[in-house]
Amino acid sequence: FDLDIGGQFYLYPGGNGVNSYEFFSYLGKTIGPAEIRAGLVYAPSQDNLGNTDNLYLTSDARVGIPETPVTLTASVGYENGAFEGPAGSKLDWSLGAEATKGPFTLGISYVDTDIPRLADPGRTSKAGVVLSLTAEF
Whether 26 has a pLDDT exceeding 70, the answer reads yes
Predicted local distance difference test score (pLDDT) of residue 40 = 98
pLDDT (tens digit, 9 = 90+) per residue, 74-109? 999 999 988 877 767 889 999 999 999 999 999 999
DSSP, residue by residue, 14-32 = T-SS--EEEEEEEEEEEET
Predicted local distance difference test score (pLDDT) of residue 124 = 64
Residue of 32, 52, 36 whose CA lies nearest to 44:
52
Predicted local distance difference test score (pLDDT) of residue 120 = 61
pTM: 0.82
pLDDT (tens digit, 9 = 90+) per residue, 47-73? 888 888 999 999 999 999 999 999 999
